[in-house]
Amino acid sequence: MTDAQATDAKTRIDETVNGTDVVLFMKGTKTMPQCGFSSRVAGVLNFMGVEYQDVNVLEDETIRQGIKDYSDWPTIPQLYVKGEFVGGCDIITEMTLSGELDQLFESKDVAFDKAAADKIREANG
């Protein structure tokens, strides 16, 4: 990746992360994930009724590498809420089961279905 491509990717990522309340950089799309980890995080967000933008990193190699550089996080998926990097699959799974994801959404005024979140915890308790 050239410096110009890296700069362009960072600008595009910045605009997406800061211009959308909830963004999931993932392999595939929220309706057709292309890897198990992306599928798990998208599944949690979909089940909880969270409105979010999905960014398919498989469509653009500069974004695929750029998001790893942007967050200094080596894996995909990556979830951002109100411009802040939250984490990848393991972190989102842990936060969902502990209730921390609910708290984050509540503190950031992100709408979600609390009953659905409780159902996830009941099913995995």
The pTM score is 0.94
pLDDT for the residue 4: 82
pLDDT of residue 29: 98
Q: How far apart are CA 83 and CA 15, in angstroms?
A: 9
Give CA–CA dist 12/125, Å, rounded: 39
Is it true that the peptide bond before 74 is cis, omega within 30 degrees of 0?
no
Assign domain 3-123 to its CATH architecture.
Answer: 3-Layer(aba) Sandwich (3.40)
Q: pLDDT 10s digit of each residue in the chain, 125 long?
A: 788 877 899 999 999 999 999 999 999 999 999 999 999 999 999 999 999 999 999 999 999 999 999 999 999 999 999 999 999 999 999 999 999 999 999 999 999 999 999 999 999 98
In sequence order, which residues have a C-beta less than 8 Å from that of residue 29 and are 6 or more positions away? 54, 56
Cα 90 to Cα 36, 40, 96, 105, 114, distances in angstroms: 12, 10, 10, 18, 21
Q: Sketch the domain layout of the chain as residue ranges.
A: 3-123
